[in-house]
Structure 1
């Protein structure tokens, strides 16, 4: 992999003539280009030979317990069914596989694929297998699209919530997934000259929690905030004195339905949905008086946060609590009109949509009345936003209140949200937002005023500063429009009927990225009648990627 494109970085900040210390584990992590396995596949019906390189990408991998909690799979992070699983490879969470097609050149892009659905840990799982058949004309085969284009394809395992270390601790707490992914990027940069592919053209991609992971990695390139954590696992380019000689920024990001900005996600969710919540459209019918009060409190807190972001739209219009719903409505309108322009039809008001959803185990067809949009001559002439939200939650019930920081408050018991991502390695979970913390009602769990004697503001400004840092280190909004090196190109998709996080969170991410001085373009859409999922528009995605790669090439290098 040989670098082609330059960029401002931590390295560039060193004064002229100042030496950069070699990473403490760089010699150990140097790849031998002669050690590979041959993988034979077909792409578009034609044979293709790949070289596969497998490596542990850190110098000090975390020792894992041989018996792990049940594997978590898919965007929702749902359990596999078993209580435990035997870990076949104890290094699987910090290992990668590099697939190099024979057509790859020194300037080829590198697709870095992450699989952390629900921010759970991801074992190394390969999208490419010996004897496999792949196609570039499929809307769901990203490996086929990448191989056909001559891109290098990289799958990585990474830590995340739900794993157990050999010493009994929980090593997947935030920001472990981000740290591991940055370490994998550094591994690719360290070995940039050994193989085809350019480490200056890394394109990170993931769905749901993996989309959130991809987004924060893309936003926080080269930030020194992560160096201490990278040193702990022996990442490439990190010297014994804590300085860095390698970068971890990426060229582009393809993020599907990213679950992110978790510290404010509950507020955004209730701000959007509290007005239409009912017992019937809330999961498990949990819509009692406590949930109503919590929803109202969370919704009321969001405008101050949103307004404080000081976001604008492409035309310069402020994106605030006063304009956000109109902005989301405009995104929905554009998607309806794109659907019609592409030959799709819209039933008249009072008539039915038929929506086919792909699910595990098959497809499901929903028949839902159109009570929210009117289209005449290809243009939307009326769109009722609240009715649209009601339509969305008929496809999938709303999450309970709170949606994310759900453990140990408002009657929610056990680890029921993203709470197991936070806290010390010895804690099963921790509340991670002001509401969740201040309303904690479980004595002895280490969270809340009942155990610490401090509210959220007091705790996180003192003894709990590490918890506040955990929340920040996995939030792209904390790094966009800062000195961090953001990816130049962003492709963000959040399905039109995806209720897993607020549309406001996704649109805010897109606009914050667009406003970052490092970012060249942002392609954001709410794809037609798409639920919480990813990799459903591969041909469109890889056409976009081919375009930005072409635009980014130095004319002198053509």
Structure 2
């Protein structure tokens, strides 16, 4: 069954089936793919900027042998010139250059014989950072700094840093936010391919890397290569849709490195409450509040969504949730799989860690005077006893140095407590960060999640009996937001699909196999983070594997939170090593 598209209306159960999964009739539907062509040019008949790369404008760092350019516009008709430009940093061995008469710039051509390590000027991978926490904007470079790119260049990589619009960027013409961040990222990739004949590096080996909202946006970009959902947005800014000979250009990428990707926003309210919220009883989950009931209702709705995805593990086992004697759907093959992931994470930690082991807790906010505290565990047994302080949820085999996690509740209460209020992503008062990500403008947040709207609609009469309920939270607020059109005439359903990686990876959605999915993925997350459910990155992993992507390097890292989590070593070195392992030399 197609969870989010108009085809559900055409099924035997009609509009009732659609309502069950949170979609209003009139969403983008399969019409999203009608009348689109990858060879279509920008709809604009005039261009403010040339898409041609200027090979006479290179600057040179002679100390470190680096050629670079800063501030090159990568679209012909930018909506925000202060964001839609990029910088490129190239090892000196990849170019042949002569000084210009101005004494400061160089004219350069590709040196086909130039090499750095295992790479040549034609085979060097191109890495692109996506540093957009909370889906914020990524500011482009305005000056040169070797230290920020040195590790990549020394490894023979080419580093491209594009500015990207986000939820906190504004322009004189802005009337919406997403999907502009990923649109700009795709436009930058297309610019590189448009100019591939004059630039060093392999545009077949473009690899994205980012964390949190950046990990989310590079995940979306990696799953949605050449998706027609983005064409209207790309055309509106004059992105390179064809090369100089009229051949279609691609925005698909070779690889994605995602740390803690905060993604799959369409269902994130539900999974958060199922994974963590159902085990909390304070704040918005305290007894006597309408949001305590809302939390339970969201948690109950998530298994229905999850079971329709049809996910399977590496052995082909169908993963689903079933009702349990206690808690909300804490049984079934999907539940067992989640416990296996948690157990594996803990055992990796035990294998990687030398005891005594010291845990340092984070202090309070700046100015609070709190500096945190440290606790040292002399042995593994001491640490396991610490984990079991409130309940016994871990058993330990000292002979094999392995542990077994018995259930989700003990793990969550000990290691992964809810840090966000109920309605963690699409807030009932539009107060969450993501309400601005899918807002219609700066300081104009919007509801965006039909699955959340359906929970509200089904239960708002019950919620109204609580003293803290406000009629402004009614489902009608969601309906009005969903109906609004953005600056290219698309509604919320279209925009939400564009920012949902599962839309492109899962057969439950109409975008399945209508994009070019990156063949190489590396996903890392800190298992302790309260920023999103563990199911978020697990479902991306499973969807990629079910899609047929063979190269997915996944780990959720014990004792780490919302950070560039790594089992061992540092994130930059590990990322570069991974790029070298999956790209051609």
Shorter-chain TM range is 0.7 to 0.9
Deviations 1:24-47 (CA, angstroms, capped at 9, x unpaired): 769811101221222366xxxxx4
- Change beyond 3 A, Cα 1:58–1:338: same
Matches within 5 A, 1:467-478: 467-478=492-503
Local SS of the residue matching 1:539: helix
- Change beyond 3 A, Cα 1:432–1:338: same
1:411: which partner in 2? none
Matches within 5 A, 1:460-499: 466-480=491-505, 481-499=512-530
Note the C-alpha offset of 1:273. 1.3
Q: Measure, in 2, the Cα distance between the counterparts of 1:346 and 1:513.
A: 38
Q: Measure, in 2, the Cα distance between the counterparts of 1:144 and 1:540.
A: 15
Q: Measure, in 2, the Cα distance between the counterparts of 1:163 and 1:286.
A: 36
Note the C-alpha offset of 1:467. 0.8
Q: Measure, in 2, the Cα distance between the counterparts of 1:185 and 1:192.
A: 10
Contact 2:311 2:543 in 1 (8 A): yes
Which sits farther off after the overlay, 536-545 or 217-226? Answer: 536-545
- Change beyond 3 A, Cα 1:218–1:424: same
2:130: which partner in 1? 114
Contact 2:222 2:255 in 1 (8 A): yes
Contact 2:206 2:254 in 1 (8 A): yes
Unaligned runs of 5+ in 2: 1-36, 95-120, 322-331, 376-382, 458-468, 506-511
Note the C-alpha offset of 1:529. 1.4
Matches within 5 A, 1:324-339: 324-339=334-349
Decide which of 30, 55, 63 is 1:33's aligned counterpart. Answer: 55
Note the C-alpha offset of 1:374. 3.5
2:541: which partner in 1? 510
Local SS of the residue matching 1:198: coil
Matches within 5 A, 1:72-83: none
Note the C-alpha offset of 1:19. 12
Local SS of the residue matching 1:312: coil
- Does residue 1:531 correspond to 2:561, yes or no? yes
Q: Measure, in 1, the Cα distance between the counterparts of 2:425 and 2:273.
A: 11
1:61: which partner in 2? 78
Note the C-alpha offset of 1:229. 1.0
Note the C-alpha offset of 1:344. 3.1
Note the C-alpha offset of 1:434. 2.9
1:95: which partner in 2? 85
Unaligned runs of 5+ in 1: 1-17, 42-46, 64-90, 135-142, 348-352, 409-413
Q: If the length of structure 1 is used for normalisation, what is the TM-score?
A: 0.75
Deviations 1:227-285 (CA, angstroms, capped at 9, x unpaired): 1111011101269xxx9721000000001111111010010111111331121xx5x88
- Change beyond 3 A, Cα 1:205–1:383: same
Local SS of the residue matching 2:557: coil
Which sits farther off after the overlay, 426-435 or 493-502? Answer: 426-435
Q: Measure, in 2, the Cα distance between the counterparts of 1:118 and 1:185.
A: 22
1:421: which partner in 2? 437
Local SS of the residue matching 1:186: helix
1:212: which partner in 2? 216
Decide which of 149, 156, 159 is 2:165's aligned counterpart. Answer: 159
Deviations 1:171-210 (CA, angstroms, capped at 9, x unpaired): 4x11111111111110111111212111110001111111
1:275: which partner in 2? 278
Note the C-alpha offset of 1:51. 2.4
Q: Measure, in 2, the Cα distance between the counterparts of 1:213 and 1:521.
A: 20
Decide which of 529, 532, 546 is 2:580's aligned counterpart. Answer: 546
1:449: which partner in 2? 476
Larger radius of gyration: 2
Local SS of the residue matching 1:505: helix
- Change beyond 3 A, Cα 1:252–1:151: same
Contact 1:422 1:432 in 2 (8 A): yes
Decide which of 336, 341, 356 is 2:351's aligned counterpart. Answer: 341
Decide which of 149, 155, 165 is 2:155's aligned counterpart. Answer: 149
- Change beyond 3 A, Cα 1:509–1:356: same
State how many pairs are aligned: 466
Q: If the length of structure 2 is used for normalisation, what is the TM-score?
A: 0.72
Contact 1:121 1:177 in 2 (8 A): yes
- Change beyond 3 A, Cα 1:286–1:206: farther
Decide which of 401, 405, 424 is 1:383's aligned counterpart. Answer: 405
2:301: which partner in 1? 301
Note the C-alpha offset of 1:286. 6.4
- Change beyond 3 A, Cα 1:402–1:125: farther
Contact 1:340 1:378 in 2 (8 A): no
Note the C-alpha offset of 1:338. 2.2
Q: Measure, in 1, the Cα distance between the counterparts of 2:91 and 2:298.
A: 50
Q: Measure, in 1, the Cα distance between the counterparts of 2:443 and 2:387.
A: 47
Contact 1:270 1:299 in 2 (8 A): yes
Contact 1:54 1:95 in 2 (8 A): yes
Deviations 1:332-366 (CA, angstroms, capped at 9, x unpaired): 2222222232343488xxxxx62466999798555
Q: Measure, in 2, the Cα distance between the counterparts of 1:175 and 1:121.
A: 12
Note the C-alpha offset of 1:129. 4.0
